[in-house]
Structure 1
Amino acid sequence: MKYILGLLLVLCTTLAAHARNPLDFTLLKLGNDPAGPTLLVIGGIQGDEPGGFNAAGVLASHYAITKGNVWVVPNLNFPSIINRSRGLHGDMNRKFARLGKEDPEYNTVEKIKSIILHPQVDLILNLHDGSGFYRPKWENSVRNPDRWGQSVIIDQESLEDSRFGNLAAMATVAVADANNALLVPEHLYHLKNTRTRDGDVEMEKTLTYFAINHGKPAFGVEASKSFNTATRAYYHVRILESFMRQAGIRFERDFTLTPEGLEAAMNRNLHLAFHDGRLKLDMDNIRSTLRYMPLSRNAGNDFIPSKPLLTVVDEGNGYRVYYGNNRITQLMPQYFDYDDSLKTLRLMVDGKQTAAPIGSMVQVGEAFEVTPEEGYRVNVIGFTRSGVENECGISISKNDIMDAYSIDKAGTVYRVEVYRENKFSGMVLVRFGDANVHLVQNNAPPSEDTMGR
């Protein structure tokens, strides 16, 4: 459990610096071993390949590195990810040989190049989802040498004078490790050598070949687009773990390595926090639109996501929340100045007194009651009582709140908002249902370098 708490602390520190362009890519650094090897993992260079960027996202959020180091960029081409596009401005993975400064992605490409060339980086994996199933010999239209899925790609056999320069040998081990854990035999992996230096003009433009030309071992990893996202991510993670073991990187993870376990990990602990966590929204089964959200006018840049694939995009009259290539919800704001004076909210929950930090969630079995605080007004969204403006000191059960005002589709989570005069002081969520622990989910925000456009 200690390593999970430590990982959360690192991630919270990392993502807290996200108050820049919400579509910047994010570099997360896992591990603290200056003498150990460093693996750089990149996902999302093409926005329509969710297996790759979700696998990188899980690596960033659900692994602890106990020896060596792993740097993760799960969302390199974030604008294309949220638009489900291979590339809004062309294929980013064809921009590493030459690129004019007028290209909209020039800064992004230059910054990822600088990370690749960092002296600490020893090897690079670029995660993709590819068409069909690569086979060295023609089998049919889906399984043949022109397909990319289920392959580990090298540009050449080896790279001299490099710590991990035996590219073919490492890729062969990774292929074997994946094939020892196939879900069905037809999912077989193969090594694909593009022999780029022999005149493959397209591959000369790629990220991996840029790395190779600068003395950095690099591999492409392809899961088949024939699979759903969780299955693609499963195979990516199998390959990732093989390369980590081969590099001498030791790790722990907090999920079972199956497609089901990966899918659960992808969707666990999804929440957004605004204004230093004073307003936190649980994304679990959230409604498609939340209205009258008490936000500041810079909310589109002042938010903390619990995971790097979670972001907020300002659309003028509201904010769309994306997780990877999925639009989760739309926030329709009601703008307020913020008041930071209140740190906790006192409540009576099922007959027991508790102090809930602002921004936390409280589990309620039967009923709750907010203890009055002098100078503050409470508004329980969805609860009304004639003639009552401050809803402190009232015992409220689930039946007293209109289901339509819950933040989740199941009608179990509700907003308890606190105001001081005309300023918003923060919010606590209450979740109705059986539980042994009343106070949950008050994680500090996820060391990050945010890089990108």
Structure 2
Amino acid sequence: MKRFLTILLGCLVVFAGSAMANNHFDFSLHKLEADRPGNTLLVIGGIQGDEPGGFNAASLLVTHYRIKKGNVWVVPNLNFISIIKRSRGVHGDLNRKFATIGDSDPEFDTISRIKAIMLDDQVDMVLNLHDGSGFYRPTYVDRTHSPHRWGQSIIIDQKQIPARLFGNLDKIANQVVAEVNHYLFSKEHVYHVKNTRTREGDTEMERTLTYYAIRNRKPAFGVEVSKTFPTHKRAYYHLQVLEAYMDLLGIEYERTFRLSARGVRDAIKSGAKLAFYDNKIFLDVTDARKRLGYIPLKKASEIVFRPSSPLVAVVESGESYRVFHGNRRVTRLYPQYFEYDSSINAITIKIDGDERKVDFGNMVKVGRSFLVVPEKGYRVNVIGFYKPGTGDESGISIHKDDIKKRFSVDKKGRIYRVEVYRKKKFSGMVLVRFSDKREDLITSDSSKVSLLNVSDSRNGPRENDSSVKSEDSSYLGR
């Protein structure tokens, strides 16, 4: 089935769930639902923490897709602690606990919750995303290409089940394979259907998520991408498969990037932002320094944050907090604790001579210089800027070279913190981002960055995408 996909360009769509910093991580369920009813697809990523192609692809569904018809439910981080620790399974293989599990098993609640979600009456089909070894081939070619490998295959446990809808698993899997094979980087990457014939005595597969689903008459498929690829190419193939299934189920959708290797890579890299305490603090840690010091956290309070991606986590570690994006540690936060002031929620800044009001929790783009307009009773601290004899840094025109680069949020030395205080209390923060003349600047306004609900995504300029070669010599997709 071929469709033209409308792409939302230049649009930031980010996840707005809240979480607390701790060392225990439950998975999250994200229901992407349209006003126009239709079938419901459940997508599960991260059942094994050492398979980043699957959990990054599932996360991109949450952050960069909008469903126009039907529903897509996504669990992108089923085994979150194992994702962070880059482990197949901290407490054993989670995908071998669906037949039996003792109530003393630390993953008993996880298994119980995901089983209930799968068996929800609204769910019509389940996809479990994996990164597998080598390249599956129906007949032996060599050690890497053989029936014993899993990569580049759609897994079914048996040909058919007595389901209300979509019971012919073999036919559906072959339709998806035929579609996805139009969008390969190389002929070696060809997809095949792999039938494990689980009920014929495969005791290993009898304990898996997909077999649990089909035993309960829920159509379910394993989606395997070869581990030989880098993460962004694994995610690319996962998304090709996911879109083929959505097309087959009649689910209509939009995404905010081109489905190419470069487009997926950039989308994954864009996803590490977080806000604390109702946007009092906003940090873009996509390319953050290894450590960020003197972060003004709230005294005697739990660390509550809102991430831009369901793969962003904040982990308490002694006197600091480690920030993860999936299985990558992006930075470490060293806090300084303050009482908070709630008397204001914005400041006025002159940016390159133009005056504008900026809410706390946003990032503004600066070309040459900025100046925070003085506000009686408040003082401004630009982290990394110093002028002898100055306790308040408002009213001063500040250029990039006036700030010590080692205090930037990012490694390139472009993003800096502007903090506001009322006496000894912290009022809020704005980020300033000095633009590079070599960049292609997307907007000329304040470049407001906020954490939005998926359903609140704003539509940018649109253009049709088709299956032609992109500039990075990779297929754009359907």
Task: Give 1:106's aligned residue.
Answer: 108
**3-state DSSP of counterpart to 1:332:** strand
Deviations 1:264-323 (A, max 9, x none): 111225311001111100123211110111112577640000111111111121111111
**3-state DSSP of counterpart to 2:171:** helix
Quote how far apart the aligned CAs of 1:256 are: 1.1
Quote how far apart the aligned CAs of 1:32 are: 2.7
Assess if the C-alpha contact under 8 Å between 1:3 and 1:64 holds in 2: no
* Alignment map for 1:291-306 (pairs within 5 Å): 291-297=293-299, 301-306=303-308
Task: Give 2:453's aligned residue.
Answer: 446
* Alignment map for 1:1-400 (pairs within 5 Å): 12=15, 15-19=16-20, 23-33=25-35, 35-297=37-299, 301-400=303-402
Residues 129 and 444 of structure 1: CA distance in aligned 2, closer, same or farther (over 3 Å): closer
- Hey, what's the Cα distance between the residues in 2 that align with 1:197 and 1:20? 43
Assess if the C-alpha contact under 8 Å between 2:350 and 2:371 holds in 1: yes
Residues 231 and 444 of structure 1: CA distance in aligned 2, closer, same or farther (over 3 Å): closer
Quick check: 289-298 or 120-129, which moved more? Answer: 289-298
Question: Is residue 2:410 matched to residue 1:408?
Answer: yes
Quote how far apart the aligned CAs of 1:140 are: 0.8
Assess if the C-alpha contact under 8 Å between 1:306 and 1:446 holds in 2: no
**3-state DSSP of counterpart to 1:368:** strand
Quote how far apart the aligned CAs of 1:27 are: 0.7
Deviations 1:395-414 (A, max 9, x none): 11111111111111111111
Name the TM-score, length of structure 1 as normaliser: 0.94
- Hey, what's the Cα distance between the residues in 1 that align with 2:73 and 2:293? 38
**3-state DSSP of counterpart to 2:140:** coil
Quote how far apart the aligned CAs of 1:442 are: 3.1
Deviations 1:18-60 (A, max 9, x none): 3486622111111235741100000000000001111111111
RMSD: 2.0
Partner amino acid, structure 1, of 2:312: L
Deviations 1:36-85 (A, max 9, x none): 11000000000000011111111111111111100001111010001110
In structure 2, list runs of 5 or more residues that go unmatched: 1-5, 456-478
Assess if the C-alpha contact under 8 Å between 1:274 and 1:299 holds in 2: no
Deviations 1:83-140 (A, max 9, x none): 1100000000001111011111111111111110111101000000001111111111
Quote how far apart the aligned CAs of 1:3 are: 9.0
- Hey, what's the Cα distance between the residues in 2 that align with 1:376 and 1:20? 30
Assess if the C-alpha contact under 8 Å between 2:18 and 2:305 holds in 1: no
Residues 91 and 255 of structure 1: CA distance in aligned 2, closer, same or farther (over 3 Å): same
- Hey, what's the Cα distance between the residues in 2 that align with 1:437 and 1:228? 35
Assess if the C-alpha contact under 8 Å between 2:199 and 2:206 holds in 1: yes
Residues 201 and 276 of structure 1: CA distance in aligned 2, closer, same or farther (over 3 Å): same
**3-state DSSP of counterpart to 1:25:** coil
Partner amino acid, structure 2, of 1:401: I
Partner amino acid, structure 2, of 1:446: N
- How many residue pairs get matched? 443
Partner amino acid, structure 2, of 1:185: K
Assess if the C-alpha contact under 8 Å between 2:21 and 2:316 holds in 1: no
Partner amino acid, structure 1, of 2:176: A
- Hey, what's the Cα distance between the residues in 2 that align with 1:20 and 1:96? 29
- Hey, what's the Cα distance between the residues in 1 that align with 2:159 and 2:302? 47
**3-state DSSP of counterpart to 1:418:** strand
Residues 298 and 57 of structure 1: CA distance in aligned 2, closer, same or farther (over 3 Å): farther
**3-state DSSP of counterpart to 1:313:** strand
Quote how far apart the aligned CAs of 1:168 are: 0.4
Quick check: 338-347 or 319-328, which moved more? Answer: 338-347
Partner amino acid, structure 2, of 1:254: T
Partner amino acid, structure 2, of 1:322: F
- Hey, what's the Cα distance between the residues in 1 that align with 2:299 and 2:76? 28
- Hey, what's the Cα distance between the residues in 2 that align with 1:299 and 1:57? 29
Task: Give 1:451's aligned residue.
Answer: none
Residues 46 and 298 of structure 1: CA distance in aligned 2, closer, same or farther (over 3 Å): farther
- Hey, what's the Cα distance between the residues in 2 that align with 1:399 and 1:61? 35
Assess if the C-alpha contact under 8 Å between 2:66 and 2:454 holds in 1: no
Partner amino acid, structure 2, of 1:18: A
Quote how far apart the aligned CAs of 1:441 are: 2.8
- Hey, what's the Cα distance between the residues in 2 that align with 1:220 and 1:298? 46
- Hey, what's the Cα distance between the residues in 2 that align with 1:64 and 1:300? 32
- Hey, what's the Cα distance between the residues in 2 that align with 1:179 and 1:63? 22
Name the TM-score, length of structure 2 as normaliser: 0.89
Assess if the C-alpha contact under 8 Å between 1:154 and 1:194 holds in 2: yes
In structure 1, list runs of 5 or more residues that go unmatched: 449-453
